Amino acid sequence: MATFPGFSASDFAAYEEKKWGSNAFTLERIKVKEKLAGLQSLLAPLTTPHQESFAAHLSEEFPNIVNHKRVDAQWLYYTRTQTHAQDLAKFLEKTELKPDKIFNIAPQEKHIALAVVIDNAAVHVGLFIHPGAFVDRRNFAAKLTHTWDREKLKQVLGECDGLLTLGFDESERVVAREMELDAFGWLADTLASDERRFSVAHTFAKDDAIALGVGLGDTVVRLVSGLVPLYQFVAWSRSNDHIQVGQQIQKEKAEHRKNATEYKSGDRVRVASGLFAGKVGSVQSIDTKAQVKVAVGKMSITVAANDLTRV
């Protein structure tokens, strides 16, 4: 089992700006990633009971398209499982055509994330909701229109550690457990309109994190123990749906099934997208999930009904 020995000055140095886009410093970042794996082991007793809701991830240590070809920080983060993420895939693929958003494809930028993040200057521990996680943001905002849910949120925040603050980016922050009920209306309005990242988090400056040594791990566990219930309260799910996303998902699935029934065995079709786009074949079978098996030459491929057109 991985252990957490604490962070050193060299760990923070691995994320100096001059190193962000270079593979030459990947080994330095791997060492930090291994320490985050140690933190993951410490957090397992808190997170494992919720493994059906979210899964642990460690961000890549080398520059690639997901991190915009720069590694300015290393993340240990928990976000919804792949199965649950697929529920939202159709919604989150509708990326706004803005230069600052079109390439935001990292999971922690599309989904609510409970995370420990180390960069050149600090260690950040918290619950983070980027603007790209708009399903979670809208769901949270809609939930705050209900008196009962505001009272429940007040209770959940009241059980958070006193180090955790709530707000957008690094400004306008208040101690999370001191948030008043009459401020939740402001929070709901801001979540729906603000382009900044929202978080309930604490930042350990580099020197403070180093000084804590192994003890930083115990502090992270304490912070996360209050954030897990908050994640469950905020994150969209089929059982926590306040914006009718679940209804839309069911509607789309019904539409897919309807489209599938329009085909029958032997129909000639053309594949409209994917690796076999433009290829013509014949329908072999259709399953209950609107997936159509098509014979293309000597191969059989499975294609969503919506990705086929008649020939």
259-303: pLDDT as tens digits: 556 788 889 999 887 778 888 999 998 876 678 889 998 889 888
Q: Which of 214, 243, 272 is the last residue of a domain?
A: 243
**146-157, pLDDT tens digit by residue?**
999 999 999 999
Classify burial at 306, counting beta carbons within 10 Å of its beta carbon; exposed 0-12, middle 13-18, buried 19 or more.
middle
The residue ranking higher by pLDDT, 5 or 90, is 5
Alpha helices in the chain (DSSP H): 9-13, 26-47, 82-92, 107-110, 134-143, 147-158, 184-193, 206-212, 215-234, 245-261
Q: Are residues 169 and 203 in the same domain?
A: yes
Specify the pLDDT at position 29: 98
Residue 16 lies in a domain: yes
Query: By percentage, how much of the chain surpasses pLDDT 90?
Result: 60
Residue 116 lies in a domain: yes
The residue ranking higher by pLDDT, 187 or 307, is 187
Which of 3-17, 232-246, 274-288 is the most confident on average?
A: 3-17
Residue 211 lies in a domain: yes
Q: Are residues 124 and 229 in the same domain?
A: yes
Residue 251 lies in a domain: no
Residue 2 lies in a domain: no
On whether the CB atoms of residues 204 and 165 are closer than 8 A, the answer is no
Q: Are residues 66 and 113 in the same domain?
A: yes
Q: Are residues 68 and 179 in the same domain?
A: yes
Of 165, 144, 110, nearest in space to 233 by CA: 144
Q: Which two tokens stand for residue 51?
A: 């493994």
Q: Which amino acid is at 205?
A: A
**CATH number where 285 lies:** 2.30.30.30
Q: Which amino acid is at 79?
A: T
Q: Are residues 170 and 213 in the same domain?
A: yes
Q: Are residues 207 and 110 in the same domain?
A: yes
The residue ranking higher by pLDDT, 250 or 216, is 216
What is the average pLDDT across 53-58? Answer: 94
Residues with Cβ < 8 Å from 244, sequence gap 6 or more?
A: none
Q: Are residues 301 and 171 in the same domain?
A: no
Q: Are residues 42 and 88 in the same domain?
A: yes
Total tally of structural domains belonging to the chain: 2
Residue 282 lies in a domain: yes
Evaluate if residue 235 carries a pLDDT over 70. yes
Q: Which helix (H) or strand (E) holds 293?
A: strand 291-296
Distance CA 3, CA 27 (A): 19
Question: In the structure, what pLDDT confidence band is assigned to residue 129 with cuts at 50, 70 and 90?
Answer: very high
Q: Are residues 284 and 237 in the same domain?
A: no
How many residues are present in the chain?
A: 311
Specify the pLDDT at position 95: 46
Q: Are residues 179 and 222 in the same domain?
A: yes
What is the average pLDDT across 102-131? Answer: 88
Q: Are residues 238 and 269 in the same domain?
A: no
Q: Which amino acid is at 90?
A: K
Look-up of token digits 């099934």: 257
On whether the CB atoms of residues 240 and 139 are closer than 8 A, the answer is yes
Classify burial at 297, counting beta carbons within 10 Å of its beta carbon; exposed 0-12, middle 13-18, buried 19 or more.
exposed
Distance CA 74, CA 128 (A): 15
On whether the CB atoms of residues 278 and 291 are closer than 8 A, the answer is no
Specify the pLDDT at position 99: 40
Q: Which of 191, 215, 243 is the last residue of a domain?
A: 243
Residues spanned by the domain of 289:
262-310
**CATH number where 20 lies:** 3.30.930.20
Q: Are residues 230 and 288 in the same domain?
A: no
Per-residue H/E/C for 67-128: CCCCCCEEEEEEEECHHHHHHHHHHHCCCCCCCCCCCCCCHHHHCCEEEEEEECCEEEEEEE
Question: In the structure, what pLDDT confidence band is assigned to residue 1 with cuts at 50, 70 and 90?
Answer: low
